[in-house]
Amino acid sequence: MYKYSKDGISVLTVLDKRKVKKSGLFPIKVQVIYNRKQKYYSTGQEVSIREWEQLPRSKTRKLSSIRHNVENSFSLVRQQVETLAFRGEFSFDILNARLGRYSGISVNSVFLKKMEELKSNGQANTYFSYKGTLHKIEQFAGKQISFQEISINWLNRCEHFWLSTGSSYSSMSFYFRNLKCIMNMARKDGIIKESQYPFGKGKYEVPSGSGRKLALTLEQIKKLITYTDGTKATEMYRDLWFFSYLCNGINFRDMVFLQYSNIINGEICFIRAKTARNTKYGKIIHAVITPEMQTIINKWGNTDISPNNYIFPFAKGTEDPFEKVKLIREIVTECNQILRKITNATGIPRITTYSARHSYATVLKRSGVNIAYISESLGHSNITITENYLASFEVDERRKNSALLTKFLP
């Protein structure tokens, strides 16, 4: 009687003859067909086969009323299908949720749907971030979490649980931001009502995770780069950390995939992978190749300096996005283990690969270099980001300077 079709999705009213009722009547349903699958939605109306045939044209009060109710039910389903089809987000789970006909959709299943989307887009880092978040959430609440469970109280209890199991606030901020994104999807898709949304001012606020940002002084850097225990691994990863520090604090992901074609007029020119997706902020960073950097390239780099060859011989060039993430994690883990051994032996505070970037920025800052230059060399989109980035290090300077006020005391 009523029909609609768009983007491979069909909506129509049908007389469901699969099972006759005791009254001899059959229910009228709204049928939705997508990818050869079909779902039926009740209109609450029943008619005989003869009445169904008369329904489109009949002017009797009874059938006119039934027709009006069927049309309303059809319009409701059609409206939701149109909205989801327009956004390219149609699925029966979401349609069921928006129609209020299905309460079984879980937080876990929406996480998995999001992960499938990220995987198909090749967004490996974000995929693993959501995968890790789902694992942590399931540790707390199990594998079948309903959206109705996620309240302010639930989030507070989750936070306490994660703290008790050793998670840092920095890690938790990632977990909660991912969960917040899933809740936003649920709110947009009508799975939860606005009043059920637990995040925001006056509700649950995601804890800030400043992380453990540690920048070494020049004296500490000298201790680190001159340390050796005679092993190849220690010297290689020590030198790679130093290269990262000298190369504008380049992170290991970008460093491992540098090619000889990135070397132009005595500089390494690259765009951070972190900002490469956003062409608006995908700035080219220029790092002058110092004699120390050239020595490291000569010692550990590929001997074949063809433009398409990687400078450092870790990647093969055939890795997909997920294999690249795995490779980087292995290299970073190995380097951090070496750094831990060096810091234990030298008395330097414990650092990670990321400390090279922090050290680069703060050494320049404390040496009086213009913050605009630091911002440009880090690849930040504006100076405000750089100022916020450096702010956490200034407490050390304030403590040191405040001690000068009473230097005359014994």
pLDDT tens by residue, 36-95: 899 999 888 999 999 999 998 998 999 998 998 899 889 889 988 988 888 888 888 888
- The answer to whether 126 and 171 are in contact (CB under 8 A) is no
User: Where in the chain are the domains?
Assistant: 3-98, 107-196, 218-404
pLDDT higher than 70, residue 102: no
Nearest to 137 by CA among 118, 161, 116, 119: 161
Predicted confidence at residue 282, as pLDDT, reads 63
Q: Average pLDDT in the 97-107 region?
A: 70
Residue 195, both tokens: 């009043």
Neighbours of 66 (CB within 10 A): 21
Q: Average pLDDT in the 321-349 region?
A: 95
- The answer to whether 314 and 256 are in contact (CB under 8 A) is yes
> What percent of the chain has a predicted confidence (pLDDT) above 70?
91
CB contact set of 28 (below 8 Å; sequence gap of 6+): 13, 14, 15, 16, 43, 45, 46, 47, 52, 66, 70
Predicted confidence at residue 92, as pLDDT, reads 87
Backbone angles phi, psi at 122, to 5 degrees: 75, 20
Q: Average pLDDT in the 130-157 region?
A: 93
Predicted confidence at residue 104, as pLDDT, reads 59
pLDDT band at 98 (very low <50, low <70, confident <90, very high): confident
Nearest to 133 by CA among 156, 157, 107: 107
Q: Average pLDDT in the 116-129 region?
A: 91
Predicted confidence at residue 84, as pLDDT, reads 86
Predicted confidence at residue 325, as pLDDT, reads 93
Predicted confidence at residue 278, as pLDDT, reads 56
- The answer to whether 170 and 132 are in contact (CB under 8 A) is no
pLDDT tens, 196-248? 899 998 999 998 765 556 889 999 999 999 999 999 999 999 999 999 999 99
- Bridge partners, 39 (sequence order): 32
Write the DSSP symbol of residue 291: H
Domain 218-404: which CATH number of 3.40.50.410, 1.10.443.10, 3.40.50.300, 1.10.1660.10 = 1.10.443.10
Predicted confidence at residue 393, as pLDDT, reads 63
Of the two residues 360 and 100, the one the predictor is more confident about is 360
Predicted confidence at residue 340, as pLDDT, reads 96
pLDDT higher than 90, residue 336: yes
pLDDT band at 277 (very low <50, low <70, confident <90, very high): low
What's the Cα-to-Cα distance from 107 to each of 89, 94, 147, 170, 264, rounded to whole Å? 17, 12, 6, 23, 49
Predicted confidence at residue 250, as pLDDT, reads 95
pLDDT higher than 80, residue 175: yes
- Bridge partners, 38 (sequence order): 33
pLDDT tens, 278-304? 545 568 899 999 999 999 999 999 999
Predicted confidence at residue 238, as pLDDT, reads 97
pLDDT higher than 90, residue 387: no
What's the Cα-to-Cα distance from 324 to each of 251, 302, 321, 327, 340, rounded to whole Å? 14, 18, 5, 5, 24
DSSP H or E run through 408: none
Q: Average pLDDT in the 106-110 region?
A: 89
Question: How far, in Å, CA of 170 to CA of 207, rounded?
Answer: 8
pLDDT higher than 90, residue 132: yes
